[in-house]
Amino acid sequence: MEEFVYVLLLVTSLIGLTFIIERAWALRWRKVMPHDIEAAAQSCRNPEDVPMLRRVCEQHPAPLGRLLLVASERLDLPKSEIVEIVQTRARHEIVRLERGLIVLEVIVGIAPLLGLTGTIVGMMSVFHGLGQADLSNAVKLAEGIALILRATLAGLLIAIPSLIFWSYFTKKVEVLAAEMETLCDDFLRRQFRETAQK
């Protein structure tokens, strides 16, 4: 039974590591908000520049590009409607950015519990062995307890990095979402200011 808990801890650590690497790759700043799209959005000052922005967004598939495409395709609608449409699309993009973070959150909760389970199973085994052998050797007991506490340590060593990365990625998604919202808002404000001046 104790070996089974260690196998579960190993599987949990491998899953956690996989999601940490995958999210680190997926949440790179330039993957979510490519520099070319940012530059094109900032230089898009009037309706004549919109086709250029759309071409850049189509060439660089990224969350920011998809939001700007949605906004640029609906410039004939009132600004309030466009903002609502973009916000709906932004929620979908944020859900995609958060994909996998729930797994890290679950690992943060279950890894220490698996370690504790391994410790309890190990202690039951040690005390059962001591009772059957009728041993009162303190050294043997101490060695057995030191061995079984490794499960608790393993659980904590899995949970702590998972918690750190989960917190980091969650904050990064918030920052990316705020930046994308700012860029889209600036784009719409420029377009509607230009339209109002004509």
Average predicted confidence (pLDDT) for the chain: 87
What sections of the chain are H helices per DSSP?
A: 2-26, 29-32, 35-43, 50-59, 63-72, 79-98, 101-133, 138-197
Q: Are 164 and 111 in contact (CB under 8 A)?
A: no
Asked whether the predicted pLDDT for residue 123 surpasses 90, the reply is no
pLDDT tens digit string along 16-36?
999 999 999 999 999 999 999
Q: Are 107 and 16 in contact (CB under 8 A)?
A: yes
Q: What is the pTM of this model?
A: 0.82
pLDDT tens digit string along 169-186?
999 999 999 999 999 999
User: Would you state the pLDDT for residue 145?
Assistant: 77
Q: Are 150 and 34 in contact (CB under 8 A)?
A: no
Structure tokens at 165: 């990365």
User: Would you state the pLDDT for residue 130?
Assistant: 65
User: Would you state the pLDDT for residue 120?
Assistant: 86
pLDDT tens digit string along 62-119?
999 999 999 999 888 898 899 999 999 999 999 999 998 999 999 999 999 999 888 8
Half-sphere exposure of 8 (CA within 13 A, CB side): 18
Instruction: Classify burial at 34, counting beta carbons within 10 Å of its beta carbon; exposed 0-12, middle 13-18, buried 19 or more.
Output: buried
User: Would you state the pLDDT for residue 148?
Assistant: 76
